[in-house]
């Protein structure tokens, strides 16, 4: 275990997760089951593995759910504290708001929805060795257009902080993990919403603070959209994404205790079957995320989709690139394709939605 006990960690978990609705109507995004564990467990396990022992969660939306599940953090070998924002203060305001709980001079801040494999200790080493005021973890991605783009100079110092652009000058993007010297958190305006990306970082550059980039090509995925959530989950199941919370062998599928899988069902592509879920004969699940208690009936196909708690997919139905809300019922032979989102509890009758003219 590395020696970073003198560093505090802060995780921002207060967002509404609108892009993952309707799943985030009942659970905050960082608590959605991912390879069978609340997503945040994977991040907390990585933080604990790096030797950081004091972690503060900045909560707002559905705040109580976090403490109910993680308590004081002792199960994970950390000390966990919570700071609640009655009105969301944004990503910068959320960091400023936890200040009274901070103890260390070095504070590592995380977005609570990033699945990553980077060496956290190496980021802290960069922060120390360059004597930076703030260090940003940057990852290289093949298509940087959808992200905040962060160019650096030959010494690795950040030279600009650019919003999403169609013509990015570099493939380095903001990975949503930062190290702050505590006094730079004190400087963030308090009591009002502040965006760390749009306000804090540009202001730091404008005032000439030493903002360092730590660049790598580690595994990285922002789990904010259904597409990324499905891919990240499958990557955990298949061992492509690392997680200290998931020891042991990985494979094409992960079936949790109490689930029933009928003979002849095909589970591939990093499919996850939740506790108590039922999969019928001849069903084909490829990269499917089936939450606890959901049912996929005989001959149905579920591809790259999320099926919420207790939802039901009828016989021979097809769900591809969709999100099925908790308790919804997709009737037999229905076809739901790319981008379909079924709201919780909605019942679609047998054959009720088709993309073809066959009966
Ligand atoms: P979308 O609504 O789908 O954009 O998701 P989101 O609300 O989670 O926003 P985004 O993905 O940009 O947030 C990045 C991280 O910051 C997530 O882990 C959020 O939980 C967290 N976050 C966003 N806004 C706030 C806030 O106002 N307060 C706190 N404490 N955390 C926030």
Question: Which H or E element spans position 334?
Answer: none
Confidence of residue 1 (pLDDT cuts 50, 70, 90): very low
Residue 359's pLDDT is: 67
32: in domain: yes
pLDDT in tens, 243-297: 999 977 789 999 999 999 999 999 999 999 999 999 999 999 999 999 999 999 9
The answer for residues whose C-beta is within 8 angstroms of residue 173's C-beta and 6 or more apart is 138, 139, 140, 141, 144, 147, 148, 149, 150
Q: 267 and 210 share a domain?
A: no
The pLDDT mean for the chain works out to: 95
Domain around 143: 2-227
Residue 238 placed within a domain: no
- d(CA 91, ligand 1 centre) in Å: 7
Flag whether the pTM goes above 0.75.
yes
Q: Which residues have C-beta atoms less than 6 Å from ligand 1?
A: 12-19, 29, 58, 60, 85, 88-91, 94, 111-113, 224
CATH number of the CATH domain containing 94: 3.90.550.10
Q: Residue 261 and residue 271: Cα distance in Å, rounded?
A: 12
Average pLDDT over residues 131-156: 94
Q: Which single residue is written with the structure tokens 């499917």?
A: 288
316-331 residue pLDDT tens: 999 999 999 999 999 9
Q: Are residues 318 and 213 in the same domain?
A: no
Question: Do 137 and 190 fall within a single domain?
Answer: yes
In this structure, which residue's CA is closest to atom 9 in ligand 1?
15
- Ligand 1 atom closest to Cα of 28? 20
- In this prediction, residue 3 carries a pLDDT of 62
Same domain, 163 and 265: no
- The answer to whether the beta carbons of residues 212 and 135 sit under 8 Å apart is yes
Percent of residues, the chain, with pLDDT higher than 70: 99
Most informative mutation of 55, 85, 91, 147 for ligand 1 (most atoms within 8 A of CB):
91
What is the mean predicted confidence (pLDDT) over 86-102? 97
- Counting from 1 in the atom list of ligand 1, the atom nearest the Cα of 193 is 27
Output the pLDDT for position 265. Answer: 97
Q: How many domains does the chain have?
A: 2
Q: Is residue 223 domain-shared with residue 343, that is, in the same domain?
A: no
| Beta-ladder partners of 172 | 140
- Give the span between the Cα atoms of 223 and 35, in whole angstroms: 13
């Amino acid at each position: 275990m590395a020696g970073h006990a003198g560093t505090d960690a802060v995780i921002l978990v207060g967002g509404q997760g609108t892009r993952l609705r309707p799943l985030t109507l009942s659970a905050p995004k960082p608590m959605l089951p991912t390879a069978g564990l609340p997503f945040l467990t994977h991040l907390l396990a990585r933080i604990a593995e790096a030797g950081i022992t004091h972690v503060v969660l900045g909560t707002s939306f559905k705040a109580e759910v976090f403490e109910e599940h993680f308590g004081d953090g002792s199960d994970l070998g950390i000390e966990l504290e919570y700071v609640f924002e009655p009105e969301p203060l944004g990503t910068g305001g959320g960091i400023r708001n936890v200040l009274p709980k901070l103890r260390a001079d070095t504070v590592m801040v995380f977005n609570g929805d990033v699945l990553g494999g980077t060496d956290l200790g190496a980021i802290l080493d960069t922060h120390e060795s360059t004597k930076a005021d703030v260090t940003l973890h940057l990852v290289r991605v093949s298509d940087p257009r959808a992200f905040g783009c962060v160019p650096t100079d030959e010494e690795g110092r950040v030279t600009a902080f650019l919003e999403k652009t169609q013509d990015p000058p570099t493939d380095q993007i903001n990975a949503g993990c930062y190290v702050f010297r505590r006094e730079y958190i004190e400087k963030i305006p308090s009591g009002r919403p502040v965006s760390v990306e749009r306000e804090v970082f540009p202001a730091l550059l404008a005032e000439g603070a030493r903002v360092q980039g730590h660049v790598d090509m580690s595994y990285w995925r922002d789990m904010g959209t259904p597409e990324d959530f499905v891919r990240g989950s499958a990557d955990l199941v298949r061992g492509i994404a690392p997680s200290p919370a998931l020891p042991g062998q990985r494979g094409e599928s992960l079936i949790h205790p109490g689930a029933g899988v009928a003979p002849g069902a095909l589970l591939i592509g990093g499919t996850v079957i939740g506790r108590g879920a039922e999969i019928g004969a001849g069903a084909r699940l490829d990269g499917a995320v089936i939450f606890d208690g959901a049912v996929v009936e005989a001959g149905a196909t579920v591809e790259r989709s999320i099926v919420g708690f207790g939802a039901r997919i009828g016989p021979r139905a097809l769900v591809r690139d969709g999100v099925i809300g908790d308790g919804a019922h997709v009737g037999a032979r229905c076809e739901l394709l790319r981008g379909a989102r079924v709201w919780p509890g909605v019942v679609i009758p047998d054959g009720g939605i088709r993309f073809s003219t066959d009966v």
